[in-house]
């Protein structure tokens, strides 16, 4: 009895310590490099190595090898599904076959293939959010109980394992699975919190566009690389009238809608942000002449004018519009100067009747 407990404890400790180190390394890597694809490939491969390592410390009964190799395989299949889980079982299948013995087929089917298949069946695809997936204990242990019932029945009738061995194995497997699930959820909760904090540090809460600080950092990087660009500033015409007629919540919807129009229509390398209030700022990147900048700006002005905003018929001109001002090209100028130029051009657009684009003139 003592030997059995010692072996299962060593298996359990190995699984927990290995998973703790692996998941913590994942946390550090994602926090620093943000490369999810590599984690998707590496994590199942690490699990396969863990499963093989566990098989180095078995309980031997009449040539049969009993260990907790199924725990990490069940965990990864429940977490990531069958497509990624299959990567975790290839090496353990080969290794268990290479070890041989009278119960090699049972060892592969009951302790490798079964946890993979049943874990994949209980994978919640809708909640899979790599690398931030948080597992629910209810779903995890519903699948685990289902897996243990099938495996225990097959073990009892097809292998030399007795009821005591099986009960002890289930107990230690349940403990190991509980702990690594807690570790996974803790690591992923930390990553989600970090991601949220990073988002709010660089984005405007109202529109989810970049905030002004991030915008300036990004555009100053263009200046250092001497990439030509033009700064544009625009605001919503008669926005106070809209708020007075429809209320501030409706005005907030207008700002969020304009933010979405920017996301949908701007070019890949353009940078844009909420400047403050109803005012926005854009960097038209890789633009070396103002004609090109004017064309892009006027296209967006027209997009806003033709968008069907609720209640816009009560605006002074019967439609919700924007006015926009453009700076000169960025050559040998700092960002503050370009912003000042765009702001003056915007003021001119307002004075010229609104709903138009004006360029800064010396």
Q: How far apart are CA 258 and CA 245, in angstroms?
A: 19
H or E element that contains 153: helix 137-158
Q: What b/e string do you get for 191-200 counting C-beta neighbours within 10 Å, with b at 16 or more? A: beeeeeeeee
Mean pLDDT of the chain: 95
Q: In what order do the strands lie in the sheet with 271-276?
A: 271-276, 279-285, 229-236, 322-329, 357-359
DSSP structure string for 195-264: HHHHHHHHB-TTT-SBPHHHHHHHHHHHHHTT--EEEEEEEETTHHHHHHHH-HHHHHHHHHHHHHHHHH
Per-residue pLDDT tens digits of the chain, which is 362 residues long:
777 899 999 999 999 999 999 999 999 999 888 889 999 999 999 999 999 999 998 999 888 999 999 999 999 999 999 999 999 999 999 999 999 999 999 999 999 999 999 999 999 999 999 999 999 999 999 999 999 999 999 999 999 989 999 999 999 999 999 999 999 999 999 999 999 999 999 999 999 999 999 999 999 999 999 999 999 999 999 999 999 999 999 999 999 999 999 999 999 999 999 999 999 999 999 999 999 999 999 999 999 999 999 999 999 989 999 999 999 999 889 999 999 999 999 999 999 999 999 999 87
Dihedral over Cα of 313, 314, 315, 321: its sign: negative
Q: With 0.85 as the threshold, say if the pTM is over it.
A: no
Residues 224, 304, single domain; the answer is yes
Q: How far apart are CA 16 and CA 344, in angstroms?
A: 63
* CATH number assigned to the domain comprising residue 266: 3.30.70.270
Position 302 in a domain: yes
Q: How far apart are CA 301 and CA 296, in angstroms?
A: 9
Q: How many domains does the chain have?
A: 2
Position 206 in a domain: no
Position 53 in a domain: yes
Position 205 in a domain: no
* CATH number assigned to the domain comprising residue 70: 1.10.1760
Position 57 in a domain: yes
> Which two tokens mark 322?
């924007």
Residues 294, 177, single domain; the answer is no
Position 268 in a domain: yes
Instruction: Choose one of 174, 200, 226: the last residue of a domain.
Output: 200
Residues 95, 47, single domain; the answer is yes
The single residue listed with the structure tokens 């002005």 is 301
Tens of pLDDT along 37-73?
A: 999 999 999 999 999 999 998 999 888 999 999 999 9
Residues 172, 220, single domain; the answer is no
Position 123 in a domain: yes
Instruction: Choose one of 177, 200, 223: the last residue of a domain.
Output: 200
Tens of pLDDT along 201-227?
A: 999 999 999 999 999 999 999 999 999
> Which residues are CB-neighbours of 9 under 8 A, at least 6 positions away?
172
**Range(s) of the domain holding residue 220:** 212-359
Instruction: Choose one of 200, 220, 239: the last residue of a domain.
Output: 200
């Amino acid at each position: 009895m003592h030997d059995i407990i010692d072996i299962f404890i060593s298996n359990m400790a190995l699984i927990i310590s290995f998973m703790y180190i692996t998941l913590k390394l994942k946390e550090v890597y994602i926090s620093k490099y943000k490369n999810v694809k590599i984690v998707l490939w590496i994590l199942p491969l690490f699990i396969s190595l863990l499963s093989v390592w566990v098989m180095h410390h078995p309980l031997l009964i009449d040539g049969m090898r009993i260990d907790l190799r199924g725990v990490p395989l069940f965990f990864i299949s429940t977490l990531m599904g069958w497509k990624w889980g299959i990567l975790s079982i290839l090496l353990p299948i080969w290794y268990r076959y290479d070890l041989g013995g009278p119960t090699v087929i049972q060892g592969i089917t009951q302790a490798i293939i079964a946890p993979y298949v049943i874990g994949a069946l209980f994978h919640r695809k809708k909640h899979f959010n790599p690398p931030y997936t948080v597992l629910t204990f209810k779903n995890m242990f519903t699948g685990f109980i289902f897996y243990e019932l099938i495996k225990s029945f097959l073990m009892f009738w097809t292998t030399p394992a007795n009821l005591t061995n099986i009960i002890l194995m289930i107990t230690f497997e349940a403990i190991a699975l509980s702990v690594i699930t807690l570790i996974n959820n803790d690591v992923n909760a930390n990553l989600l919190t970090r991601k949220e904090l990073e988002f709010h540090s660089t984005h405007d809460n109202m529109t989810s566009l970049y905030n002004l600080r991030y915008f300036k950092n990004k555009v100053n990087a263009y200046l250092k690389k001497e990439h030509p660009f033009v700064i544009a500033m625009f605001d919503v015409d008669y926005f106070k009238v809209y708020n007075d007629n429809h209320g501030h919540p409706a005005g907030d919807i207008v700002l969020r809608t304009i933010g979405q129009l920017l996301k949908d229509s701007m070019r890949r390398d353009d940078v844009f942000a909420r400047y403050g209030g109803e005012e926005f700022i854009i960097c038209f990147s890789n633009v070396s002449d103002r004609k090109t900048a004017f064309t892009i700006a006027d296209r967006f002005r027209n997009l806003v004018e033709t968008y069907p905003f609720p209640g816009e018929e009560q605006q002074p001109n019967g439609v919700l519009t924007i006015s926009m001002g453009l700076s000169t090209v960025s050559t040998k100028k700092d960002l503050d100067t370009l912003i000042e130029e765009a702001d003056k051009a915007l003021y001119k657009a307002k004075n010229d009747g609104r709903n138009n684009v004006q360029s800064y003139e010396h």
